[in-house]
């Protein structure tokens, strides 16, 4: 077992990775500014340091205070639309913070680094399913920032010996099957939680953006991967970096579900219709985005355990139904 630093470990994916590390007996230190993360999402057993990644003195203090076996880096700006309004902020923070964290890691002798990356770096892919060799041509500043961070880490490996893995998520979804953690963003931009909020009366009717795509039912198709399976992928690549080279992986279920299929799954979970309205396509939205996970499977033995759409949606619905206010409103959040 080891000790790991998880930046952004109070966020959605980061908190589930922290949980997976704790469940297997690792020690975890979380560094999070709680701007988007939640104090309550950091499970008992993990040490929480509240601080901003941009505060170098805080990071140096954390790296000096514990001996880490690796770093898992989730702290980043992540809203595609916002990145187009504030592109320079996204490039500066996401790239700058990642690379100077990598520099400090090397100085502290921490030579394994896992980056939370994104499928947004592919832009408008020409092939489906999308493998790691697909051309990288981001159409958002967010996607560009992650691509630049990946390239910087490649130089850190070449020149400094820092072994890194980058996991390019497609659509993380669902919640811890044990009900300990869930998804709680503000604003919420993801389809499944917005559909769940709509059916529970916790949000407005869901808007379906485009019904005239060249797909079987006319709505866009996306690849959804359960967040617990995603956490498992992080642990597998983290362990592979002990003796293996730097690596880049696409992480998805390998199958696609349309917007209408997602709505039907939410209706099955809830037992009632999802209120929704029809809207136009959003500019830049491809008809189909599905990952090839063949390389990840081959190199690490990873496979989705909760790959069925009903499993993904069912856990998301169950957590939100039990926690209609999400993490907000609890005593722990009130004193944050």
Asked if the model's pLDDT at residue 219 lies above 60, the reply is yes
Asked if the model's pLDDT at residue 329 lies above 70, the reply is no
Annotated active-site positions, please?
142
Percent over 90 (pLDDT), the chain: 93
Of 61, 45, 59, 80, the residue nearest 7 (C-alpha): 59
Can you give the pLDDT at residue 334? 39
Query: How much is the average pLDDT of 286-292?
Result: 93
Is 89 in contact with 145 (CB distance < 8 Å)? no
Distance, in Å, from the CA atom of 139 to the CA atom of 120, rounded to the nearest integer, reads 8
Distance, in Å, from the CA atom of 113 to the CA atom of 69, rounded to the nearest integer, reads 9
By the 10 Å C-beta count (0-12 exposed, 13-18 middle, 19+ buried), 236 is classed as middle
What is 174-223+253-336's CATH superfamily? UDP-galactose 4-epimerase, domain 1 (3.90.25.10)
What is the tens place of the pLDDT at every residue in 33-90? 999 999 999 999 999 999 999 999 999 999 999 999 999 999 999 998 899 999 999 9
Which tokens hold the place of 126?
């020409």
Any idea which of 235-249, 295-309, 322-336 has the lowest mean pLDDT?
322-336
27: confidence class by pLDDT, cuts 50, 70, 90: very high
What lies within 8 Å, CB to CB, of 255 at 6+ separation is 223, 290, 307
Which tokens hold the place of 125?
């892919």
- Evaluated on CA atoms 267, 273, 275, 280, the torsion sign reads positive
Fold of 3-173+224-252: Rossmann fold (3.40.50)
**Residue boundaries of the structural domains of the chain:** 3-173+224-252, 174-223+253-336
* pLDDT mean across residues, the chain: 95
What lies within 8 Å, CB to CB, of 151 at 6+ separation is none
Higher pLDDT pick, 1 / 181: 181
Can you give the pLDDT at residue 333? 46
What is the tens place of the pLDDT at every residue in 94-129? 999 999 999 999 999 999 999 999 999 998 888 899
Distance, in Å, from the CA atom of 2 to the CA atom of 24, rounded to the nearest integer, reads 10
């Amino acid at each position: 077992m080891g000790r790991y630093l998880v930046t952004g470990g109070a966020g959605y994916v980061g908190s589930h990775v922290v949980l997976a590390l704790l469940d297997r007996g690792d020690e975890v230190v979380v560094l999070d500014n709680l701007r988007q993360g939640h104090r309550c999402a950091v499970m008992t057993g993990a040490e929480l340091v509240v601080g901003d990644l941009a505060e170098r003195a805080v990071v140096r203090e954390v790296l000096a205070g514990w001996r880490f076996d690796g770093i898992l880096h989730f702290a980043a700006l992540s809203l595609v639309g916002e990145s187009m309004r504030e592109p320079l902020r996204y490039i500066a923070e996401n790239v700058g913070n990642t690379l100077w964290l990598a520099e400090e890691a090397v100085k502290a002798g921490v030579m394994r680094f896992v980056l939370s990356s994104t499928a947004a770096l592919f832009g408008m892919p020409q092939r489906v399913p999308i493998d790691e060799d697909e051309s990288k041509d981001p159409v958002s500043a967010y996607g560009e920032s992650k691509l630049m961070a990946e390239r910087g880490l490649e130089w850190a490996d070449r020149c400094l010996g820092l072994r890194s893995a980058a996991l390019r998520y497609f659509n993380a979804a669902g919640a811890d099957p044990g009900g300990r953690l869930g998804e709680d963003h503000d604003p919420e931009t993801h389809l499944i939680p917005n559909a769940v909020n709509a059916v529970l009366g916790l949000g407005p009717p869901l808007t379906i953006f485009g019904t005239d795509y060249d797909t079987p039912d006319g709505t866009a198709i996306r690849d959804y991967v359960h967040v617990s399976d995603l956490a498992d992928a992080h642990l597998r690549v983290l362990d592979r970096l002990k003796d293996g080279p730097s690596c880049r992986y696409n992480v998805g279920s390998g199958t696609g579900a349309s917007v209408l299929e997602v709505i039907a799954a939410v209706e099955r979970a809830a037992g009632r219709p999802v209120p929704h309205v029809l809207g136009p396509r959003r500019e830049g939205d491809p008809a189909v985005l599905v990952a090839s996970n063949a390389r990840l499977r081959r190199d690490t033995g990873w496979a989705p355990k909760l790959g069925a759409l009903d499993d993904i949606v069912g856990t998301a619905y169950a957590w939100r139904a039990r926690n209609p206010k999400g993490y907000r409103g609890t005593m722990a959040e009130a004193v944050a």
